[in-house]
Amino acid sequence: MEKFSTLTAVAAPFPKKNVDTDLIIRIERCTGMPKEELGKYAFEMIRFLPGGAENPEFVLNQPRYRGAQILVCGEFFGTGSSREVAVWALASLGIRCVIAPSFGQIFFNNCFQNGLLAIVLPSPVVEDLMKKTDKPFTVDLEKQAINGSVKFDVSPRNRRMLLEGLDEIGLTLAMEPKIAAFQAADRQKRPWIYS
Amino acid sequence: MFDRIWEQHVVDDLGDGAFLLHVDRHLMHELSGQRGQVEIKQRGMKIRNPELTIGSIDHVVSTVPNAKGGNFPWADKMIESFRVEGRKAGVKIYDIGQDGQGIVHVVGPELGFTLPGSTLLCGDSHTCTHGALGALAWGIGTSELTHVLATQTIVQQRPKTMRARFDGRPARGVVAKDLILALIGRIGTAGGVGCAMEYAGEAIRGLDMEGRLTVCNLSIELGSKIGMIAPDEKTYAWLKGRRHAPRGALWDQALAHWKTLPSDASAEFDKEHVLDCSALAPQITWGTSPEDVIGVDGRIPGNKPEALAYMGLVAGSDIAGTKVDRVFIGSCTNSRLPDLRAAAEIVRGRKAAKHVKAWVVPGSWRIKQDAEAEGLHQIFLEAGFEWREAGCSMCVALNGDYVEPQARCVSTSNRNFVGRQGPQARTHLASPAMAAAAAIAGEIVDVRGF
């Protein structure tokens, strides 16, 4: 997985609330398309007009926010379906960091599995950040700070995963003796689970 | 209850609130599951415990009567790949036309694969459904799914707990779907973020198992990926004898264990909500989020102009009387036998309005057979409804079943998001009886008047 330590990039304000993963990527795009190609279809229902032309109102179509790598989002971003394709689509679009007052919980986990940093901050802080998107943001995961002064929390495990670009499956496979021991003991306690 | 089950599954405490948990049960479908199979293969790994995973085909399968595959070549390819990889790995796949095929969240409980006190994961957000049996169940993405296949475990941050107590007895015509929609309306779609929900109270105890499955199914729509109901005698009676449920001495042993799970009266939760069900009207959504919900006797609010524009509705008008084009009775929320019976009860001896295209899509092959044995299909067919094969169908609109642009659908499913049932489709979520009544009346109508 790609490492994440410090990112300086354009940040785009996207205050819409309850942005669901259906809106991030339509279900028809989830049937096996290579991850790298998904960016073309990210937010397609609001990014393009019915004829296929770009919707000038959509934030990432505005010249100053084109190529943004940070999205500053409204409440409950990534709600709905578990489709990890939504995160792949954002990554393919170049997004490396999403900031919001709250996230859909499955989406939140999916972000960290793909090297995307999801940052939860109180609504007033997020709203304030949206007003400052005229200049690029610097997100420092090591120091857990945006633009030097806005501190954020991230779970130590997720922080380490991103900083070191760790693969969770690899880490867990190394714990196989513990898994085997758990199952051996559990078979005695709850044999019906394994029968 | 949540704490007990969580603690019984801890393989390792990873520190700072993260745990490695054992996964007792894993369900796969041909969309996310097939992607997981591909990932495992690409990484050169194998499935650690194939006997603890089962699969079913639901998302891309055609629901056209007598269909035996998908509606598109890519869908057939996906199904075939899922089937073949399942066979190679030793994962039991319940295939099209077989007893056991259907929507994963319908067949998991139906087969007795979902058990109280077990951890159950699936690459699908509505996995919270299985909490109705007292399982600790939640939806995962592809990476986590691959992790489960490779290690039979999951890494998870321990959530907070929240209890929603449903007091009082709901009036006639007010059912499980209405209870949970009302709660979502009250606390919002983000109301349960970071929490594992437990549903309790007189109204929950009064529900049959299928009603409890409906309640837990919508947990994710209030932001909680976990929603549970303590198992009781109803749960055990419902589960006993099902295909994957323990038998004989193992059943007795499991039962004794399950009875130790429910929360004590003194259990403490991080947050608590209380909802009085006795005053509730049947619920229906008016906007593009499940929290945009009112009683069917209510007026359309004006606080979300963008949603109203999408839905083609005017603030201040009565929601009842809104003309509908489509009716969909199905999905992992409301496609079980009692749901179909409730809809058939409304439809019996009546006809769908001429301008309404109404569909009934049973949740599983077994439900379809059982419904036909009771003659429910005849009631629907005589009323001009379509009676289709089991699958997710028009809830997720991936298999070719969809609502036309700007058409209005009363749907028993779980999401009224923009474009969910098809580009520009307008969805109103409601109970099976409310949906059936809308099909007959040709407009949104209060089922209590039927």
Domain boundary pick from B131, B158, B185? B158
Residue B289 pLDDT > 90: yes
Residue B331 pLDDT > 90: yes
- Asked if A185 has any chain B CB less than 8 Å from its own CB, the reply is no
- Asked if B405 has any chain A CB less than 8 Å from its own CB, the reply is no
Contact B223 A76 (CB under 8 A): yes
Residue among A26, A30, A193 minimizing CB distance to B118: A193
**Among A113, A110, A56, A49, which residue's Cα sits nearest to residue A83?**
A110
Q: How many domains does chain A have?
A: 2
Torsional sign, CA A93, A97, A100, A103: positive
Local confidence band at B300 (pLDDT 50, 70, 90 cut-offs) = very high
Q: What is the pLDDT of residues B221-246, one digit of tens each?
A: 999 999 999 999 999 999 999 999 99
Contact A106 B419 (CB under 8 A): no
Confidence (pLDDT) at B45: 96
Confidence (pLDDT) at B320: 98
Kindly state the percentage of chain B with pLDDT values over 70: 100
Angle between helices B209-217 and B337-347 (to 10 degrees): 100
Residue among B52, B140, B397 minimizing CB distance to A27: B397
Residue B384 pLDDT > 90: yes
Q: Which residue has the tokens 């749960």?
A: B235
Contact A80 B31 (CB under 8 A): no
Contact B43 A75 (CB under 8 A): no
Domain shared by A145 and A179, yes or no: no
**Domain membership flag for residue B261:** no
Local confidence band at B263 (pLDDT 50, 70, 90 cut-offs) = confident
How many beta-carbon pairs below 8 A join chains A and B? 162
**Among B157, B134, B133, B124, which residue's Cα sits nearest to residue B26?**
B124
Domain shared by A128 and A81, yes or no: yes
- Asked if A155 has any chain B CB less than 8 Å from its own CB, the reply is yes
Residue among A27, A110, A173 minimizing CB distance to B398: A27
Q: What is the pLDDT of residues B108-134, one digit of tens each?
A: 999 999 999 999 999 999 999 999 999
Residue B33 pLDDT > 90: yes
Residue B437 and residue B442: Cα distance in Å, rounded? Answer: 8
- Asked if B255 has any chain A CB less than 8 Å from its own CB, the reply is no
Mean pLDDT, rounded, for A48-74: 96
Nearest CA in chain A to B32: A83
Local confidence band at B26 (pLDDT 50, 70, 90 cut-offs) = very high
**Domain membership flag for residue A62:** yes
Nearest CA in chain A to B139: A82
Local confidence band at B79 (pLDDT 50, 70, 90 cut-offs) = very high
Does residue A140 come out as left (phi exceeding 0), alpha (psi in the -120 to 50 range) or beta?
beta
Domain boundary pick from B138, B158, B178? B158
> Which of B71, B143, B187, B421 would you mutate first to test chain A, the one with the most A CBs within 10 A?
B143
Domain shared by A109 and A30, yes or no: yes
Confidence (pLDDT) at B193: 95
Q: What is the pLDDT of residues A156-194, one digit of tens each?
A: 999 999 999 998 999 999 999 999 999 999 999 999 999
**Among B321, B259, B310, B312, which residue's Cα sits nearest to residue B284?**
B321
Structure tokens at B6: 């969580």
Residue B278 CB neighbour total at 10 angstroms? 12
A 115-154 → B contacts, CB under 8 A: none
Q: Which residue range forms the structural domain that includes residue A192?
A: 170-195
Q: Which residue range forms the structural domain that includes residue B51?
A: 2-158
Q: How many domains does chain B have?
A: 2
- Asked if A18 has any chain B CB less than 8 Å from its own CB, the reply is yes
Å from B50 to nearest chain A CA? 11
Domain shared by A18 and A33, yes or no: yes
Tell me if B325 sits within 8 A of B408, measured CB to CB: yes
Local confidence band at B297 (pLDDT 50, 70, 90 cut-offs) = very high
Confidence (pLDDT) at B341: 98
Distance of CA A144 to the CA centre of its chain: 16
Residue A160 and residue A1: Cα distance in Å, rounded? Answer: 12
Mean pLDDT, rounded, for B46-58: 98
Q: What is the pLDDT of residues A104-121, one digit of tens each?
A: 999 999 999 999 999 999
Residue B338 pLDDT > 90: yes
Mean pLDDT, rounded, for B322-337: 98
Mean pLDDT of chain A: 96
Domain shared by A31 and A106, yes or no: yes
Contact A26 B419 (CB under 8 A): yes
Mean pLDDT, rounded, for B267-287: 96
- Asked if B26 has any chain A CB less than 8 Å from its own CB, the reply is no
**Domain membership flag for residue A1:** no
Residue A173 CB neighbour total at 10 angstroms? 16
Which residues in chain B have Cβ-Cβ distances shorter than 8 Å to A74? Answer: none
Contact B139 A110 (CB under 8 A): no
**Amino acid making up residue A166:** L
**Domain membership flag for residue B242:** no
Strands (E), chain A: 6-9, 11-14, 70-73, 97-100, 117-120, 137-140, 145-146, 150-151
- Asked if A182 has any chain B CB less than 8 Å from its own CB, the reply is yes
Mean pLDDT, rounded, for B419-447: 98
Q: What is the pLDDT of residues B242-261, one digit of tens each?
A: 999 999 999 999 999 999 99
DSSP sequence for B292-329: -EEETTSB--SS-HHHHHHHT--TTSBSTT-B-SEEEE
Structure tokens at A185: 């003991």
Residue among A18, A106, A168 minimizing CB distance to B139: A106
Domain boundary pick from B137, B158, B179? B158
Domain shared by A146 and A193, yes or no: no
- Asked if A39 has any chain B CB less than 8 Å from its own CB, the reply is no
Residue A1 pLDDT > 90: no
Identify the CATH number of the domain in which residue B44 sits: 3.30.499.10
Å from B139 to nearest chain A CA? 6
DSSP sequence for B103-136: -HHHHHHHTT-S-TT-EEEESSGGGGGGGGGT-E
Domain shared by A182 and A106, yes or no: no
Which residues in chain A have Cβ-Cβ distances shorter than 8 Å to B226? Answer: none
> Which of B46, B153, B395 would you mutate first to test chain A, the one with the most A CBs within 10 A?
B153
Mean pLDDT, rounded, for B153-168: 97
Confidence (pLDDT) at B378: 98
Kindly state the percentage of chain A with pLDDT values over 70: 100
**Domain membership flag for residue A28:** yes
Residue among B51, B52, B143 minimizing CB distance to A110: B143
Tell me if A108 sits within 8 A of A80, measured CB to CB: no
**Domain membership flag for residue A51:** yes
Mean pLDDT, rounded, for B175-190: 97
- Asked if B223 has any chain A CB less than 8 Å from its own CB, the reply is yes
Contact A105 B418 (CB under 8 A): no
Nearest CA in chain B to A108: B141
Local confidence band at B266 (pLDDT 50, 70, 90 cut-offs) = confident
Kindly state the percentage of chain A with pLDDT values over 90: 96
**Domain membership flag for residue A139:** yes
- Asked if B157 has any chain A CB less than 8 Å from its own CB, the reply is yes
Which residues in chain B have Cβ-Cβ distances shorter than 8 Å to A83? Answer: 32, 141
Q: What is this model's ipTM?
A: 0.95
Domain shared by A174 and A96, yes or no: no
**Among A60, A109, A54, which residue's Cα sits nearest to residue A86?**
A109
Confidence (pLDDT) at A50: 87
- Asked if B78 has any chain A CB less than 8 Å from its own CB, the reply is yes
Identify the CATH number of the domain in which residue A25 sits: 3.20.19.10
Tell me if B349 sits within 8 A of B327, measured CB to CB: no
Confidence (pLDDT) at B424: 96
